[in-house]
Amino acid sequence: MEILKNVKNKVADVFQLIGPSIMPVIALLPIAALLMGIGSAMTQDAMIEIMPFLATSGVQKASVILNAMGSLIIGNLGLFFAVGIAMNLSGKSGMAALSGLVCFLAMHKTIEMVAGLGVESLEVSGYANVLGIYTFQCGVFGGLLVGLVVAALYNKFHEIQLPQSLGFFQGERFVPIVSVLAGMACGLVMLIIWPPIQGVFNAFTNWLTVTPYRFLCVFLYGFVMRLVQAFGMQHLIYPFFYFQMGEYTNKAGQTITGDSSIFFAQMADKTEITVGGFMTGSYIATVCCIAIAFAMYRTAKPERKQKVKGVLLGAALTAALTGVTEPIEFSFLLISPMLWFIYCVFVGFGYAVTDFLQIRLGTALAGNGLDYILYGIIPKAHNYLLFVPVAAVFFVCIYFIFKTYILKRNIKTIGREDESDIALEAELENNAEELPGRVLAYLGGAANIKSITNCITRVRAKVYDRSVVDLDSYKEIGAKAVVTPGSDNVQLVYGSASEKIANTIKHMIAGGMGTAASVKPAGYQAFAEGRLIAINEVTDEVFSQKTMGDGYAIIPKNGRVVSPVDGKIDSIFPTKHAFGIVASDGKEIILHMGLDTVELDGDGFEIKVSAGDTVSAGQEIAVMDLERIQELGKDTVIIQVFTNIDDRIVKAETGQMVKAGEKIAVTIE
């Protein structure tokens, strides 16, 4: 079970790396959609009738340019994924971005040359011209592969040292060189794996057009998409449907893939729009959230209605105008998981019903009012008027279900909070400027931060020690929710304020603020009964000078020794005097029993566990015969050393008497 847990955490960690790294690239999509939407609107007969000046040659030329700019972004998403992911996973390195470009081109050129592709290949489905290279139409999949490979190469080699004669090519300058080779390797790999993958994509797309189970498939897409949004993992699902599934050749001869990309290409070509089934449901999600906000207002306590009216109205307008629904969703997600489940089911049915009725609405990223005008009304998208009564039905149904459930179960939604929550809300409002500092303190201070980023609605932090973070007190810093995927990730939901909070925290860390005073105690237990002392009090310079690492020690009162953490016994010294322990949070610990006791060859020690055993904090792992060890002339002090915390400082409340298994206050700064 421990192995499965570790694997699960590692997979979640990888997903949490990928999710934020693709967000800047995803942010290009609304720009492209807006350019193409405006460009297309300027050529619509209905718009020209209202504004005749649109028919002038200059305006029409501008519309062509706008469409071309949008198509440029849509048609090169694979390249943007390669460059963006490489840069974002390497600490915003420009050299990594350049290496991503080099690797991307090398991969596609290798495919072209080894497969012998030319202009004639464009006559066959599955091939494309990418920046003048005839290659596979692998879209964002190829960009994702290149981005991850280059990021890994950069993080491994950007500080490499070469012989003096090759010194010019060392460090970051080595990365583009090795990226060329990596691009060639990626090209050879893609020659093997991409044709069957493309075959699966095509088969799935064709199957969806004929299967009687399409309704169920689209429902599951919408349901799961909304369900995993609670963990910030929706970005790992929709790119396949938006950018990879399906195929369309535009009037310029370019092969376009993906529900979203095809929609805008067809809109630009002024041809019949045949896609949108995996986008239209997002409008239903927005409608549902507006209805839920109205239900929460109606069920608020009378004395709180005026107060929450502005909050809920603002959240509803945000959803209607931008499609950002998280502020509403997280207002009830953790309060009532059942309401969240009901909402996800409704959204899933929204996707399925609109697809079944062939309502084909495009969206820049999330369904909202502006998108409905640009990609529904103006281009007269298929069945766009039918959306209005369908949306009305969903609005009424989810409104009454939420209202009834909230009142019947007395759910503490906005406006129905306890007095303590109301007082906290007022206190946060009065100290809004202090919020970033409080968030940093909540996360354990600057010393506990590996990295901090944000997406549209979340502050995303990677921390050294998640046990420092009091996960139950997120309301005290004004967060709507906290999510902890993987082993070292903490996501705080703040809605549109997330970017400002994250950027302010970055500036605070860069300026040396939010350090030791902000760090909260970590959860470690005393490994023996006795007096807790600082490591520099140990009468052995190897430990007191922190040669092996920082830590603390206990002068034992009796010989019982327990594990200080949940973790795994990594090693037991043959002479039985020391353990290597890997804590569940990744800390590597040496527990050393006595000074110079290696010379006793195990005499005076009884080991209770074996190497490889999983242990719990407070579990007995050894017994020391203190009298025997002292009789042999050795000091019995027990030392705990952290060996993988770099130059960080360990502080403990020393000088006190502790009992084995008792929680002690420890900070790692």
Structure letter (DSSP) for residue 521? P
Tokens of residue 555, six digits: 């002068």
Determine how many CB atoms are found less than 10 A away from the CB of residue 494: 25
Rounded Cα distance between 449 and 465, Å, is 9
Tokens of residue 402, six digits: 């939420």
Host H or E run for residue 492 = strand 489-493
Rounded Cα distance between 225 and 210, Å, is 23
Host H or E run for residue 371 = helix 369-372
H helices then E strands: how many in the chain?
22, 22
Q: Of 158, 289, 455, 577, which is the active-site residue? A: 455
CA 546, distance to chain mean position in Å, is: 36
- Asked about 158 being catalytic, the answer comes back as no
CA proximity to 527, closest of 489, 573, 574, 579 = 579
Determine how many CB atoms are found less than 10 A away from the CB of residue 335: 18
> How open is the CA angle 605-606-609, to the nearest 5 degrees?
130
CA proximity to 361, closest of 421, 415, 282 = 282
CA proximity to 107, closest of 178, 184, 180 = 184
Rounded Cα distance between 264 and 29, Å, is 11
- Burial of residue 70 (number of CB atoms within 10 Å: 0-12, 13-18, 19+): buried
Determine how many CB atoms are found less than 10 A away from the CB of residue 123: 9
The one-letter code for the residue type at 231 is: F
- Asked about 507 being catalytic, the answer comes back as no
Three-state SS for 612-626 is CCEECCCCEEEEECH
**Per 3-state DSSP, what percentage of the chain is helix, strand, and coil (rounded to 5)?**
55, 15, 30
Q: Are 558 and 607 in contact (CB under 8 A)?
A: no
Pairing label, strands 657-658, 588-593: unpaired
Which residues are designated catalytic? 455, 592
